[in-house]
Amino acid sequence: MARLALLDEEDLPRVLPVTFALWEGAIWSAIDRKPKRTAEPARLRRLRRRPDAALVADVYDEDWERLRWVEVRGPVSIEPLGPALEALVEKYPQYEAERPQGPLLRLDPRRYACWRATGRPARDHSLHEPG
């Protein structure tokens, strides 16, 4: 799981928990079958209006020496169901029984920041260009 941060219609920050998988250099998430308030989820309307987003994935542990996180920033495009769905199904077996109806969200990594409590690489809070 990760958290997707985006701006709402009033340019206020929103953060949503999402499933995600890496596929062909992008980070993919799916609109799944969990109940939604409207036919089109608000995140789709918001991303169409302003596609810039950030995704944060972290690891929490009672042993704080093991804490770490990564943040990825970039534009998100809304894509039809396609081969990237298989990467999500492979990572989340629940999707095998109940496949997401889509669409898919594709985050194109443009900048990232990462940190971990111990070990290499050294603590790093800066944003970098991928590559």
Q: What are the sequence ranges of the domains in the chain? A: 2-116
Bridge pairing between strands 52-59 and 68-79: antiparallel
pLDDT in the model for residue 26: 98
Cβ proximity of 92 and 105 under 8 Å: no
pLDDT in the model for residue 74: 98
> What is the band of 38 on the pLDDT scale with cuts at 50, 70, 90?
confident
Phi, psi angle pair for 76, to nearest 5°? -115, 130
Task: Write down the pTM of the prediction.
Answer: 0.86
Average pLDDT of the residues in 46-61? 96
pLDDT at 122 over 60: no
Cα angle, residue 26 at apex, residues 60 and 71 outer, rounded to 5°: 35
Fold of 2-116: Pnp Oxidase; Chain A (2.30.110)
pLDDT in the model for residue 37: 74
pLDDT at 30 over 60: yes
pLDDT in the model for residue 123: 44
pLDDT at 33 over 80: no
> What is the band of 28 on the pLDDT scale with cuts at 50, 70, 90?
very high
Mean pLDDT of the chain: 90
pLDDT in tens, 56-89: 999 999 999 999 999 999 999 999 999 999 999 9
pLDDT at 131 over 60: no
Is the C-alpha dihedral spanning 110, 115, 119, 122 positive or negative? Answer: positive
Residue 113: C-alpha distances to residues 3, 24, 51, 82, 127 (Å)? 14, 20, 19, 29, 5
